[in-house]
A and B are shown apart, each in its own frame.
Chain A
Amino acid sequence: MADSISSVCNLAILDKLSDGSIEEILESYNGFCAATDTLLNGAGDLSVGPQFVSHVHGLCKHGLESLLRDHFLGALERTFEKNGALKFWRHFEAYDDVSVEEEVFYNALEEISLEKQYQEKCLLILVHALQSYNHGSHDSNDYRVELFAKYQMSVSSVLMATLPRHFPEILHWYFKGRLEELSTIMGGDFPHDDDDDDDDKDDMDLDDKCKASYRSGQMEIDECYPQGRFLDNNKLVNNIGKVVRDLRSLGFTSMTEDAYASAIFLFLKAKVHDLAGDDYRISVLESIKGWIQAVPLQFLHALLAYLGDSVSYDSVSSGLKSPLASCPSTFYPGIDTPSEGLVRWQLRLEYFAYETLQDLRITKLFEIIVDYPDSSPAIEDLKQCLEYTGQHSKLVESFISALRYRLLTAGASTNDILHQYVSTIKALRTIDPAGVFLEAVGEPIRDYLRGRKDTIKCIVTMLTDGTGGNPNVSGNTGDSLLEELNRDEENQENAGLDDDFHTDDKQAWINASRWEPDPVEADPLKGSRNRRKVDILGMIVGIIGSKDQLVNEYRVMLAEKLLNKSDYDIDTEIRTLELLKIHFGESSMQKCEIMLNDLIDSKRTNGNIKATITQTSQAGSELGDNGVSMDVFDATIISSNFWPQIQDESLNVPGPVDQLLSDYSKRFNEIKTPRKLLWKKSLGTVKLELQFEDRAVQFVVAPVHAAIIMQFQDQTSWTSKNLAAAIGVPTDILNRRINFWISKGILAESIGADSEDHVFTLMEGMVDSGKNGGTNGSIEDLIVADEEGESSVASVEDQLRKEMTVYEKFILGMLTNFGSMALDRIHNTLKMFCIADPPYDKTLQQLQSFLTGLVSEEKLELRDGMYFLKK
């Protein structure tokens, strides 16, 4: 005993102690211990109180106040551990998972709260005893505050020390269950509550009113949801409030808040996913906001209001509150104003909703952009979310990986990729007008498209007409780009107007004050905002690298189109060209303009020639029986220097036509002295009618087809060699071209005496019932012959190959001398030595593709980056 005293007392005091006082101390102490035991385990029996108080006084007399306090608190702690905590946890032991029944939960809380209340009463007795001993000398509240704080600390530490691992989850589960219940009540779609219809109707009104007030941008939470609605009507919220309060008093403040916060967030997340879904045609942001107002905020509001009533507990628990706890003590709202805490909750919830929706949309951004014009509400939503959260980089990363995985693969057609690229530009332009993120997203697409051969062709097709070229492409694609050309034109006009009108200082000031810095994510290397104006055409051209290539490709396509025209109708081409001129500049479209001009000139000249030729040589050229008169003859006269290289094949046109050609050119020579015409006989179109005994069939074909079929008028069977000689084309070309007539069932092919020499026979009169099932009588078929995709204009690659063949000899000679050479060296050597006509002006890439061609022809070999002659 002395030891224990010495631990708390000064040793000098120990010396002064007489035997009597020691006796007294021992007696009081034993009495105190016994009374404590009876008090704490007495199951509500406070009858030992006075006795207890006297012992306390006795000990205090000897300065043992701190000892008795420690002893009493220790006893409280042990008792609480035994009676409270263990019993409390035992309630949950039965449940392995987290689905604890509501009742069990309530009972457990009730029980432990009762125990705690009793212990607090006991503590109060001690406090009173100490107060009565020290009356006047101390501020009476000191004991109370100090002791209760210590008690609270020991309660929570006991509980925390024995905390089962799954208790937080149990809490979470509980709140989740209650929220769901609440949501069904609030949603009004499942009125299992006892409330009558009026109340439901009231719900709806409130919701509407709240949405309305949200739109007006104010936070009139309390106006919308009259205080006490839950307190009066809803047992549920009261229960929850009670649970929260009990848990707080047990020291689970932060855990509880975590639990209901995470329950609310999870619930919100589920709701967002539910509302957002996979439909991008409607905006969901407003309804999500409305829902936040209607359910979780109401819940919190009621909860906080409920807790706000029980101030006495707060003062106890506030000392224990973690600084990180989500609800600071200012949280308990006044009755009439929206509390700061509630506003804070609203902001948190909305941020979370924005973020969830944003993540959801970002993961689906690829699909959203695929159906872009329809999905613009989703894009708008995403824009708002991103403005709020600022997580643009997430969008960029996720979208780029989606692109790589889903779009930039060998299986995707270039047209689809381009279409998606255009949609991406349009969609991201909405989200981010400065184009910073677009730049990042567009980069991989551009890189990929540069590696595709048909990119330029597809772009040009899209620019000029959407439906041409590939029939699989939706007409939208091309239209959209042509639209873009138009739009661009309008913009430029507007810009021009702006410049004229607002060059004064005032406008300059307005412009200056409207300036905004680039977003932080902007890459400073990529220039300032002005240069980054989002311009779809510009970005498309950016894929190709230079507009020259694009213009070149356009020229080839235009040539193809113009040469196949049999009327001189070029209105659409003129329109497109004008638009392109606005965008690419007049000078780069010069050649195309000359081409169109040739067509216009041809029309005039053609009319002129035909008018004068019929006058002069009417009598001489009475070609009635041959059926070819000048009336049916037209010509397109081109300025060949300005057209792409044209593949001219030799062809002997039928005699009467040949006569027409020479008449025509003679007349041209007379009118336009000293200019002459050079016929490109294999080009053009012929519309002809095959007249059989029982029917007539019309075709639109190339001159070579016409020449072939006309040979069969006099002689119904030809060998391929003879026929080739007659029309003046090589046999292999003839064999290819004649397939057209064979496929139409006009001619039949059979193996002749010589296996190399096929025999073609006219199928007179027996075709109709066979191949063209329904063609009976004189049904006119109008078929365009250009089905084989044989173009009369050399493609850009063909031209390049042709130009490069000049250097083949140089390269082979070089390699004979040097053995092996790297690409660079070949390039440089050619540049050095091929300065004569034609000078070597190709790029390294062009040379490389040519050399690759030679390798595949097995003329060269490529090993470790060096080219060798193939032995």
Chain B
Amino acid sequence: MKVNILQWHAVASWTWDAQDETCGICRMAFDGCCPDCKLPGDDCPLIWGACNHAFHLHCILKWVNSQTSQAHCPMCRREWQFKG
């Protein structure tokens, strides 16, 4: 007997490969989305800082824009720089 596979439809879930579970700013799951977004994934991406802390892009942008002087990472207080 020989088995011919005509179609294999698999199921997977995606995940951001962040070390933490939740965004330090909005406390929402990384695999979810920030409070302003409706759809997770491409529409609400994650961004890593030079300090290797990850946040929702929208969250950290809001934070950075609200700072008058140089913004710091909310987690480690190091100067915030987007990881190249």
Contacts and interface: CB of A to CB of B under 8 A. Distances in A.
A622 B29 CA distance: 40
A675 B17 contact: yes
Contact of A691 (B4, B31, B40): B4
Contacts of B38: 590, 593-594
A703 B7 CA distance: 11
Contacts of B10: 633-636, 661, 664, 679-681, 683-684, 703
Contacts of B14: 637-640, 668, 672, 675-678
Q: Which of A636, A640, A664, A668 has the most CB of B within 10 A?
A: A640
Contact of B42 (A601, A678, A683, A713): A601
Nearest to B7: A687
A68 interface: no
Contacts of B29: 641
A680 B13 CA distance: 7
Interface residues of B, number: 26
B1 interface: yes
Contacts of A713: 1-3
A764 B13 contact: no
A687 B6 CA distance: 5
A411 interface: no
A675 B42 CA distance: 10
A674 to B, nearest CB: 5
Interface string A691-728: 11000001000010010011011001000000000000
B14 to A, nearest CB: 5
Contact of B1 (A635, A687, A692): A692
B9 A640 contact: no
Given A594-B40, A640-B31, A641-B31, A688 B13 contact: no
A18 to B, nearest CB: 131
Interface in B1-33: 1-17, 29, 31-32
B17 A636 contact: no
A439 B68 CA distance: 61
Contact of A689 (B3, B12, B32): B3
A72 to B, nearest CB: 109
A705 to B, nearest CB: 11
Contact of B3 (A676, A691, A764): A691
B76 interface: no
Contacts of A690: 1-4
A799 interface: no
A688 B1 contact: no
Contacts of A681: 10
A683 B6 contact: no
A762 B7 CA distance: 23
A322 interface: no
Contact of B11 (A563, A601, A639): A563
B3 A684 contact: no
A688 B3 contact: yes
B11 A636 contact: yes
Contact of B12 (A677, A688, A716, A764): A677
* Chain A contact patch, size range: 35 or more
A594 B8 contact: no
A627 to B, nearest CB: 5
A698 B8 CA distance: 13
A861 B55 CA distance: 49
A685 interface: yes
A704 to B, nearest CB: 12
A597 to B, nearest CB: 6
A540 to B, nearest CB: 28
Contact of A710 (B3, B7, B9, B42): B3
Contact of A634 (B8, B15, B39): B8
B31 A627 contact: no
A635 B9 contact: yes
Report which residue of B3, B9, B32, B39 has the largest number of chain A beta carbons within 10 angstroms of its beta carbon.
B9
A660 B4 CA distance: 15
B11 A706 contact: no
B8 A762 contact: no
A214 B5 CA distance: 77
B41 interface: yes
Contact of A684 (B6, B9, B15): B9
A642 interface: yes
A683 B9 CA distance: 9
B13 A678 contact: yes
B39 to A, nearest CB: 6
B54 to A, nearest CB: 9
Nearest to B9: A566
Interface in A41-69: none
Contact of A641 (B12, B40, B46): B40
A443 B41 CA distance: 45
A677 B4 contact: no
A567 to B, nearest CB: 9
B4 A679 contact: no
Nearest to A696: B4
A748 to B, nearest CB: 13
A632 B5 contact: yes
Nearest to B41: A639
A440 interface: no
Contacts of A632: 5-8
A679 B11 CA distance: 6
6 contacts: A590-B38, A636-B10, A637-B12, A660-B8, A680-B11, A690-B4
Given A675-B41, A680-B12, 7 more contacts: A565-B9, A627-B4, A632-B7, A634-B7, A635-B9, A679-B10, A687-B8
Nearest 7 interchain pairs by C-beta: A640-B13, A683-B11, A566-B9, A687-B7, A689-B4, A677-B12, A687-B6
